Chains A and B, each alone.
Chain A
Amino acid sequence: MSKKITIEPVTRVEGHGKVTIQLDDKGQVSDSRLHIVEFRGFERFIQGRPFWEAPVLVQRLCGICPVSHHLAAAKALDVIVGAGTGEGLTAVGDKMRRLMHYGQFFQSHVLHFFHLSSPDFLFGFDGDPLTRNIIGVIQENRDLAVQGVMMRKYGQEVIKHTAGKKIHGTGAIPGGINKNLSLAERDELLNGEAPLNADQMVEWSLGALDFFKAYHKANVRSIDGFANFPSNYLSLVRKDGALDIYHGVLRAVDAEGQRILNDVDYQDYDQYIEEEVRNWSYMKFPYLKALGKEKGWYRVGPLARLNVCDFIPTPLAQKELEEFRAYTHGKPNGMTLHYHWARLIEVLHAAEMIRELLNDPDLQNEDLVTKGKKLLKGVGVIEAPRGTLFHHYEINDNDQITLANLIVSTTNNNQPMNTAVNLTAKSFMNGRPEITEGMMNAVEVAIRAYDPCLSCATHALGQMPLELTLLNSKNEIIDQKIK
């Protein structure tokens, strides 16, 4: 008899989702899907509001990476107020926003690795769920847990000093920013009492990378073979090809590293990217128009960024990138669990960038805002921690928003996450008569590697426990496990 297994909700991810695994009469996996079951509707209820509310209102999509939404919206509105795209801002406007974003990147990546994913590495995929969590990490490896907490705190302090508060600030406004960085704030972040200073963050970032690399070395087969599949990759890059998470042009490469989207202006994103709606998920499926729905899907996020960029413009992270690239002989890396490796290289890059920016006297300039001739449409794209984030707004002559379209990072990774779940389910389920704890968690590990933010993706409220349901071929529930 065929069965359907449901994992709902998926745990240790941001937001609420469920997984269903369909088994055929022989107990083989015939299909599996990641369903996103939240719905919010931000794009609709922002219509009619004055456009300058967008960066403050839309960031409420998320409590983890609100800064990315805040900045993507502000970038779109820069275009609307005539401040241009990226290059039009004053030095202090551009650099304060970058500092805010690197702080956000740092804290979000750290949260994901230390709080959400490190339990899998410390205790194994089939470890006891009672200890396979952040409390278990504290008991098993106190130093690692403390570092995670303090690194996240540091990133949040950077956000507070640039955006006004740690969550949901107001720092970025159309055409610039509303504050610069005072010398006292700079000194606190740069040379604050240990461990909360820039040098310590760089050092701990290197330590986190060493932790992952040591784990990888000891578990090469299980890491490299886990949900390893070829795909396209998309991200922003700086015009010279450098990794740039704040501003640049859109580039995509295929599984062989060939360019399939060649450094195009993101103002025209809708010429290159389209979204497909499927009736079993609130999350859409974006794809590159030129390649079509079947072949045009792509991955975003840390792995994609390191596959797409030419180099990283900070020395320590560049050295790590060279090692990362050498591992796959310069070809794009398709190994799902290498997202963690790429993410930690980005943590190091963010720490280096924060240190570099804090030493820049432009942050104390007073010319905060630029304005020019008003336009009725603007697109802002940014590399959020989880991947490329698109904000598109259109306004009327009375300054009211008439259209908002958001393609959130996690949405871009929808098809890749489904593919990863499918591969993992087939590898862990086939031929086994029962649902094991290890299998349940392996499916979550596959999803977790992408660090999905399901609340953002459907623009939602909810909790995140895990439910697994077994259904027969008539879709009748015959078994259910909730943890």
Chain B
Amino acid sequence: MSETIEFKIDGRKIVAEEGKTIVEAAKINGVYIPTLCNFEGAKPKGCCRMCTIKVNNRFMTACTIPGAAGMEVESNSEELNDIRKGIVELLFVTGNHFCPSCEKSGNCELQALAYRYQMMVPRFPYVFPQKGIDASSPKIIKDQNRCILCQRCMKTIKDEKGRNYFAYQNRGSKLAVVLDEKMGKEMSDELAALAMENCPVGSIIYKENGFKKPIGKRKYDKRPIGNEIEA
């Protein structure tokens, strides 16, 4: 059995099992550190940088660093929150996120984070990239306009043999997460629905869904993201 350790986040005492990441330890103790690419059950990678924290005045990603006894973590500060807001803004301007017509609206983590950090007008210019959508699968639509390259679908949507449905294609500014053409055509309804659920934005849309959840019953209609963790 692992040992229990104690450390602090913004001066607040955190008690957790040794080996838990700072994000996990914070969650258990009712402290919310925002994440996008991190997904429970999948190996963390720290690629979106939303969970950026400061330890000993150094920037780190809270989803990849385990808590250590006596650690002093800075999270909910003006500087860090502005960095997080900036990350959200960058994601908005480098994609084509039109919330009014997106069926993930109200259930979208990116939109919810934009509300949490009170994004009004992004400080960066909109790129309006030319991106397409792949609707060839009978079960899902992969909309590249909304993809934030978080890899959550790559890590969690697999067949019974452990093969990935989603993978990276191209490099640099052309990097994209694409659906395997052959496997996409044979996808089950359950897996398609799960892929949509696991996508933090509206990039994976289960074709049979289509605005079935009414306004008022969506994930973030009643309370902001993180509120379910915060004590």
Contact = CB atoms under 8 A, between A and B. Distances in A.
B105 to A, nearest CB: 9
Interface residues of B, number: 16
Interface stretch (B10-18, B68-76, B80-88, B204-212): B204-212
Interface string B193-224: 00000000000010100111111100000000
Contacts of A144: none
B27 to A, nearest CB: 31
B135 interface: yes
B221 to A, nearest CB: 9
Most buried by B among A53, A168, A174: A53
Interface of A is mostly: loop
B227 interface: no
Nearest to B214: A179
A171 B214 contact: yes
A325 interface: no
Interface string A117-135: 0000000000000000000
Instruction: Please classify how large the interface on chain A is, using the bins under 10, 10 to 19, 20 to 34, 35 or more.
Output: 20 to 34
Contact of A164 (B100, B135, B216): B216
Given A48-B133, A399-B141, A168 B100 contact: yes
A57 B210 contact: no
Contacts of A164: 214-216
Contacts of A50: 135, 141, 205, 207, 210
A284 interface: no
A179 B211 CA distance: 11
A178 B101 contact: no
Given A53-B101, A56-B101, A173 B211 contact: yes
Nearest to A48: B133
Interface string B105-139: 00000000000000000000000000001011000
Contact of B210 (A49, A163, A165, A173): A173
Interface string A52-77: 11011100100000000000000000
Interface of B: prevailing SS: loop
A174 B210 contact: yes
Given A50-B135, A173-B210, A399-B141, A56 B103 contact: yes
Given A398-B136, A399-B207, A53 B103 contact: yes
Given A57-B101, A398-B136, A400-B135, A52 B211 contact: yes
Contact of A178 (B100, B135, B205, B214): B214
B40 to A, nearest CB: 28
A52 B103 contact: yes
A169 interface: yes
Nearest to B207: A399
Contacts of A60: 100-101
Interface string A396-414: 0011100000000000000
A53 to B, nearest CB: 5
B140 to A, nearest CB: 10
Nearest to A163: B215
A53 B227 CA distance: 30
A400 B141 CA distance: 10
B205 A57 contact: no
A170 interface: yes
Contacts of A178: 211-214
A264 B141 CA distance: 37
A400 B136 CA distance: 10
Interface of B: 100-101, 103, 133, 135-136, 141, 205, 207, 210-216
Interface of A: 48-50, 52-53, 55-57, 60, 163-165, 168-171, 173-174, 178-179, 369, 398-400
3 closest residue pairs by CB, A with B: A164-B215, A52-B210, A57-B101
7 contacts: A53-B103, A57-B100, A165-B215, A170-B211, A179-B216, A399-B207, A400-B133
Given A50-B141, A399-B207, 18 more contacts: A53-B101, A55-B211, A56-B101, A57-B101, A60-B100, A164-B214, A164-B215, A165-B215, A169-B215, A170-B211, A173-B211, A174-B210, A179-B214, A179-B216, A369-B212, A399-B141, A400-B133, A400-B135
